[in-house]
Structure 1
Amino acid sequence: MQLTDAQYTLEHMQAFAMFNYLQLDPWYQDSVLFVDRQARVLSLTVTLDTALGKPKEVFRFGPESDPCSERLCPSISLSSATSAVLSDGGGRLQLLRTGKRGDGCQTKWEVLFSERLGDPFTILHSVSHVQAGVHAVEVLLLRVQKDPQETTGSGFCVFLEWVTVSGAAGQGPEKKMEVRKRRVLRGKSVPHYAAVEPQGRGLMVASEKPFVFTHVDGRPVEQPEPEPMEVEKADPLYFWQQTADDITLSLRLPEGVAREDVSFRLTADTLSVGVGGFPPLLEGQLYGSVDPEASAWIIKNNKSLEVTLQKLSEGPMWPELVLGNRRGEFVMSDEQAALIHDRLTHLTSEDLNGGADGEKPPCNSQELEDCDGFPEDGFSLTRFDGETLRPTQVVNLDGHQYLFTVDVDPTQMPCLCLRHDVDALVWQPRPDRPEDMWEHIATFNALGYVQASKQDKKFATCAPDFSYAALGECLRRAFIYRQPSPVETVLFNRKQGRQVGEVAKQQVASLDSDKPILGFRASNERLFILTSSNLFVLKVNNN
């Protein structure tokens, strides 16, 4: 897509210039789809490791009946295993019955609904579900438009439109699909993440600036009186440090608590700490195993409980203390921070053979500090209720850089990957668990640190089974980061003299093409890379 002169604003660049033209089918991971220059939706399914068939046409956009001078890229969203949602880039939304996809099935798609919904948009997300016995599709659209109320900057604002399309009740299985509800949100920054909950009961948005609902079915929404919003940023309940051998935990206690008032239970895999007959302050499964006999606790200064846990396996560092518990804060010592920096510096070199010459450093530390920074401008993750349109949960993400979004389970919402210190953590939204709505499900060690040096990075993603992560540049190169795996030979750390049991790997793939990379998706076994003339399929996992 070529942006017009009026579209060269920061909002347009963020929303459309980095558009991913390639769509991976989460129900059939060896299938990808894209729209070519002839307005055809092409599907390619990998059936053999050594042989790839040609992409097959499954749908073609009709003659352009809606004139539009500022068209956007056509976009595809697969709302279920047998349905899809399309945008022609000119403001028309189409719902289609795809039938079974993948496994060589290339049936023509059937149009169930087609309607122009105003100015051009791209589709961010869609879900299909049954509502009161009627098939409904929730679609989330993105627009960047001039706003008369915006008198500063470029005058453009970002709009999200949540559209519900469903069949009329009582008309049988082939009921006519039509728009049932349209809700518009307004914001001043392009969202990093936006998705509808599986049953259409809510909406989640992660953005640098807040979004608010402005219209429902064309009618303005009455804005509530401004009031301070409570943000989920409670003071840490405990602090913890770790070495390769042990863990030290400091837990705040109510004043006046005596030793006999403390309820402490520790097994090899679980920990429970409480006071008197009250619910435990900290309880759950430990990230790793410990030796209860070699562990101990004391009350320090009559206000905190200090626990020393002896790790059962020496060496591996824990990314969290108690699985799923986010009330604590990890405190890294200066020595540990310096050691991590020393270990990872060579990975940030743009030279494929960085550090081969001892007299030539692989990178410049000052440059690393510059590219390692990221904005801290009110970045937050908000969950909106679908009925009241009010925020129900807000999580402050300041200091946690957004990295990418990935579909892990097609029955769940897309996952959000954020940088936490040097690592990249993947979070799975759980809208059915209001008390613990975002679950940490995977960690990519050091990826947050390494990706900051890739100044030409355009795309980032990971395999749905988290076996590897991948970064794609604007031209030619893709970087693959494999999760740590056991080594077959004996390997020792030269500085510490300790045996290393697992090693992570970085691989670089250079494409035989000088065309810009337009699409970038990863399945468990393959990395798909789309250019204007070729679709490259890289076999990553051979097991």
Structure 2
Amino acid sequence: METQFLDPTPDRKLLDHNFEGYKLTLHNTKIITTQLSTPVLRIIPGRKHYTLLHGMVFDMHNCLVGEKANTYENVYFFDRNKNLRKARLDVILSKLEICKLWKFPDHEEVTNNDNIIYHPSIKLISENLAIASDGVRTFFLLETGDRSTDNKWEILHSEELLQGKGFYIQDAVLKDLELHVLLCSIEFGKRSHLAVHWITLINESNIWRQKSLKELCVEGNARYIYLERSCEAIYVASTISCRFVFDSENIIMDTSDAQREQVSKLNFKWSQDSNYVAIHFIMPNDIEREDVKVSCTSSYITVEYKNSSLLDGALYSVIHTELTTISISKNLLEITMAKTEEGDEWSSLLRDFETSKQYVGGISENLDHSASDESENPEQVPLFNKDAVEECDFANSEHTILERMCANTHKITHRCSLGTSPVLLTMEPNNRKAPSFGVRYDVDLCVWEPCFEDNNFELKHTTTLLALGYIQATTERKKFLCCPSNFEFTVICDMSRHIFLYRQNRSIESGELINRRTGSRPKKAEQRVFSVPNEEILGVYAVPLGIYILGETYLMYIEA
């Protein structure tokens, strides 16, 4: 099965181009705070571990895990004594009740300084089961019982899964008698990268054992790594394509050499200047326009002639799709693409997604001689006024692509272009679908839901967080961005002590503005700002009626 490339388009019905923005309100808000008897456990990396990847894994770690059920809502965190604590809100008494559920068993101290210790992590995989990692080397399967009570949790199974290396839990799916877990760790090679370990455990006569192990290498900036709920594939959104490097059940076929040989045989030439990239194909003399089919997205191109593929691959960098032109003159087919960044020097036309290496298809020499000698470069006219552009309007040079990778064939079945915005928001997964995620679209934040049904994959645009794409880009020192399952409001927390709440479904009238034509007053959505104790915010969890905020020495609930 060949890779299918999708370019998701937002649902216009979910966009509001007349949105007026948010207005700050000073309404009284109910805030409940409790001091912790033991501070929250926080892991700081060693001196050798200060790459950008380490910063993302450690500094942006959310130490608060929550769940919202029909009859209860709980949040969980670890204290410095490695106790797992549960907190819930007593609505009648207006206070936060905290209790101890479980504690990591004592283990020997790590003597190897090269071994990275991660934050402890926990995932709730069913109504009465959970998994946990101590961040050092041990994986735990826990019996939780009824989580609406304060029953103590018990260990069902524990094991050192990665030969003594530290890891944290990224995702987990319980399917029948099999438990699929994604464990992540930072590895070092030519450059630091994220190693994703897909481990399958099976329950045989109430005894859990490891069934299989798959490993993936993720070298780019990956903000979204989750399993398909059928456990037949994995979704990865990253700036560089990932790849399988090990599978205990199936042999991994290296197709990079075959792909490079196939591209080298294609009869095309390409050239570039500071603004454009041009591709030239030598065609038969009787070529007709309807015989040529060109499909070009912001980062992928497909060219066919009479159902025969001439070019099919990912572009080296990002282009403006709407400025792509196609021209046919005698036996010459020319495709011109506009670069998104002026002066961006391409070292190749295509990028090999399998090896993340770049190669040049055909002849890489400059093709000025192939064009007409009488052609002249027209004067470049600015397309817009640069003075009106703010710093946050400049797109990231790295392009994010969501890939669906098959667990059995190790091939990429689908690629979706997410533009130059990383994944900014990830919702909670459920047993039926992979978690929705949010990326910036213009000034908004569009939320997409991956769906794979009847062998068809698509990204469904489910909701839009109006103006949040622009707002989060202008928020200095932004750390967390989250919203509840019903998307009633959005929360942005910075690195210090400020919390910004945006509720777009609750409009307030603007008293100072009047529409001259209609006489009506425009309505603005609600914005609220809160300050917390002078400590770094370590965790946040949003429920439909409020927000839980975790600091090093306190836990706070803010009524939304």
TM-score range, shorter chain: 0.5 to 0.7
Say if 1:176 and 1:418 are closer, same or farther in 2 by CA, change over 3 A. Answer: same
Residue 449 of structure 2: aligned partner? 428
2:140 is aligned with 1:97: no
Size of the aligned set, in residue pairs, is 392
CA distance in 1, matches of 2:511, 2:474: 31
Which amino acid is the alignment partner of residue 135 of structure 2? Answer: G
TM-score (norm: length of structure 1): 0.67
**Is 1:531–2:551 an aligned residue pair?**
yes
- Residues of 2 paired with 1:26 and 1:221: CA distance? 40
Q: Does 1:136 align with 2:186?
A: no
1:18 pairs with 2:18: no
- In structure 2, C-alpha distance between the alignment counterparts of 1:220 and 1:156, rounded to whole Å: 25
Aligned equivalents of 1:498, 1:452: Cα separation in 2: 34
Measure, in 2, the Cα distance between the counterparts of 1:167 and 1:183: 19
What is the aligned counterpart of 1:160 among 196, 220, 224?
Answer: 196
Q: How does 1:33-182 map to 2 (within 5 A)?
A: 33-48=76-91, 50-65=93-108, 67=110, 69=113, 70-102=116-148, 105-118=149-162, 119-130=165-176, 135-147=177-189, 150=190, 155-168=191-204, 171=205, 175-182=206-213
Q: 1:517 maps to which residue?
A: 537
Q: 1:530 to 1:221 in 2, by over 3 A?
A: same
Residues 509 and 523, structure 2, Cα contact 8 Å, conserved in 1: no
Deviations along 1:41-68, one digit per CA (max 9) or x if unpaired, are: 1111223165224321111000114635
1:197 matched residue in structure 2: 228
Shift of 1:26: 4.5
1:37 counterpart letter in structure 2: R
Paired residues for 1:31-430 under 5 Å: 31-48=74-91, 50-65=93-108, 67=110, 69=113, 70-102=116-148, 105-118=149-162, 119-130=165-176, 135-147=177-189, 150=190, 155-168=191-204, 171=205, 175-217=206-248, 221-225=252-256, 227=259, 369-407=390-428, 409=430, 411-430=432-451
**In 2, Cα distance between equivalents of 1:63 and 1:374:** 48
Q: Deviations over 1:304-346 (max 9, x none)?
A: xxxxxxxxxxxxxxxxxxxxxxxxxxxxxxxxx99xxxxxxxx
Q: 1:46 to 1:121 in 2, by over 3 A?
A: same
For residues 502-533 of structure 1, the C-alpha deviation after alignment (integer angstroms, 9 at most, x for no partner) is: 5311110111x111100011111111111100
CA 1:504/1:116 → structure 2, altered by over 3 Å: closer, same or farther?
same
Q: Go from structure 1 to structure 2 and tell me whether the alpha carbon gap of 1:385 and 1:500 turns closer, same or farther (over 3 Å shift).
A: farther
Q: 1:535 to 1:164 in 2, by over 3 A?
A: same
Q: Deviations over 1:337-392 (max 9, x none)?
A: 99xxxxxxxxxxxxxxxxxxxxxxxxxx88x7223434232310011112222111
SS in 2 for 1:25: strand
User: Any stretches of 5+ residues in structure 2 without a counterpart?
Assistant: 1-42, 263-288, 291-383
CA positional deviation for 1:434: 4.4
| Amino acid corresponding to residue 520 of structure 1 in structure 2 | V
Q: Distance in 2 between matches of 1:61 and 1:24?
A: 19
Residues 2, 48 of structure 1: alpha-carbon distance in 2 compared, 3 angstrom cutoff: same
**C-alpha distance in structure 2 between counterparts of 1:509 and 1:410, whole Å:** 34
* Structure 1 contact 213–389 (Cα < 8 Å) conserved: yes
Q: Hey, what's the Cα distance between the residues in 2 that align with 1:57 and 1:94?
A: 17
Q: Secondary structure at the match of 1:46?
A: strand
Letter in 1 for 2:229: P
Aligned to 1:352: none
Return the offset for 1:400: 3.4
Could you tell me which amino acid in structure 2 is paired with residue 4 of structure 1? G
Whether the 8 Å contact between 1:192 and 1:207 is mirrored in structure 2 is: yes
1:518 aligned partner, one-letter code: L
User: Are 2:468 and 1:447 equivalent residues in the alignment?
Assistant: yes
Q: CA deviation at 1:408?
A: 6.6
Deviations 1:175-202 (A, max 9, x none): 1011111110002124110111223121
Q: 1:225 to 1:536 in 2, by over 3 A?
A: same
Residue 48 (structure 2) aligns with: 6
Letter in 2 for 1:101: R
Per-residue CA deviation, residues 202-250 of structure 1 (Å, 9 max, x unaligned), is: 1111111111000113997332235399xxxxxxxxxxxxxxxxxxxxx
The equivalent of 1:321 in structure 2 is none
State which drifts further: 394-403 or 78-87. 394-403
Which structure would you say has the larger RCO, counting Cα contacts within 8 Å and 6 or more residues apart? 2
The letter of the residue matching 1:206 is A
Distance 2:180 2:207 in 1: 16
SS, match of residue 456 in structure 2: helix
TM-score, normalising length from structure 2? Answer: 0.65
CA distance in 2, matches of 1:482, 1:406: 17
Q: Any conservation in 1 of the 2:234–2:404 contact (CA below 8 Å)?
A: yes
CA contact (8 A) 2:507 2:526 kept: no
**Could you say what secondary structure the match of 1:437 adopts?**
strand
Determine if contact 1:428/1:438 at 8 Å carries over to the other structure. Answer: yes
Q: 2:510·2:522 contact (CA, 8 Å) conserved in 1?
A: no
Could you tell me whether the CA contact under 8 Å between 1:96 and 1:110 is conserved in 2? Answer: yes
User: Could you say if the C-alpha distance between residues 19 and 490 of structure 1 is closer, same or farther in structure 2, counting changes exceeding 3 Å?
Assistant: closer
Identify if the C-alpha distance between structure 1 residues 49 and 5 changes in structure 2 by more than 3 Å, giving closer, same or farther: farther
Q: 1:489 to 1:460 in 2, by over 3 A?
A: closer
- AA aligned to 2:502 is Y
Q: Give 1:395 deviation, angstroms.
A: 0.6
How far the C-alpha of 1:500 sits from its partner, in A, is 5.4
Offset from partner CA, 1:12-64 (integer Å, 9 cap, x none): 11222211101111446721111111101111122316522432111100011
Question: Which residue number in structure 1 is paired with residue 73 of structure 2?
Answer: 30
Larger mean Cα displacement after TM superposition, 199-208 or 24-33: 24-33
Deviation at 1:491, TM superposition (A): 9.3
Given that residues 74 and 86 in structure 1 are in contact (C-alpha distance below 8 angstroms), is that contact kept between their aligned partners in structure 2? yes
Q: CA 1:182 to 1:500, structure 2 compared with 1: closer, same or farther past 3 Å?
A: farther
RMSD: 2.9
Q: Work out whether residues 214 and 220 of structure 1, in 8 Å CA contact, stay in contact via their aligned partners in 2.
A: no
Shift in CA distance, 503/518, structure 1 to aligned 2, threshold 3 Å? same
Code of the aligned partner of 1:6: K
- In structure 1, distance between residues paired with 2:105 and 2:426: 31
CA distance in 2, matches of 1:85, 1:74: 11
- C-alpha change, 1:496 and 1:377, in structure 2 (3 Å) is farther
Q: Distance in 2 between matches of 1:444 and 1:416?
A: 12
Question: Deviations along 1:274-314, whole A, 9 cap, x unmatched?
Answer: xxxxxxxxxxxxxxxxxxxxxxxxxxxxxxxxxxxxxxxxx
Question: In the alignment, is the contact (CA less than 8 A) between 1:14 and 1:190 conserved in 2?
Answer: no
Preserved CA contact (<8 Å) 2:508 2:525: no
Check 1:433–1:487 CA distance in 2 against 1; reply closer, same or farther (3 A cut).
Answer: farther
CA deviation string 1:154-193 (max 9, x = no partner): x32211111111212xx2xxx1011111110002124110
CA distance in 1, matches of 2:509, 2:400: 43
**Contact map agreement 1:26 1:407 (CA 8 A) in 2:** no
Aligned amino acid, residue 2 of structure 1: I
C-alpha displacement at 1:487, in angstroms?
5.3
Q: Which amino acid aligns with 2:182?
A: L
2: distance between equivalents of 1:515 and 1:60?
26
State the match for 2:316 in structure 1. none
Kindly indicate whether residue 504 of structure 2 is the aligned counterpart of residue 477 of structure 1.
no
User: Higher mean Cα deviation, 462-471 or 44-53?
Assistant: 44-53
Rounded to whole Å, the distance in 1 between the matches of 2:174 and 2:511 is: 51
Identity of aligned residues (%): 25
Q: Which segments of 5 or more consecutive residues in structure 1 lack a partner in the other structure? A: 230-253, 256-336, 339-364
Q: Aligned with 2:202: secondary structure?
A: strand
Contact 2:514/2:522 (CA < 8 Å) preserved in 1?
Answer: no
Quote the Cα distance in structure 2 between the aligned partners of 1:180 and 1:437: 31
Kept in 1, the 8 Å contact 2:485–2:543? The answer is: yes
Please report how far the alpha carbon of residue 10 of structure 1 lies from its aligned counterpart in structure 2 after TM superposition.
1.2
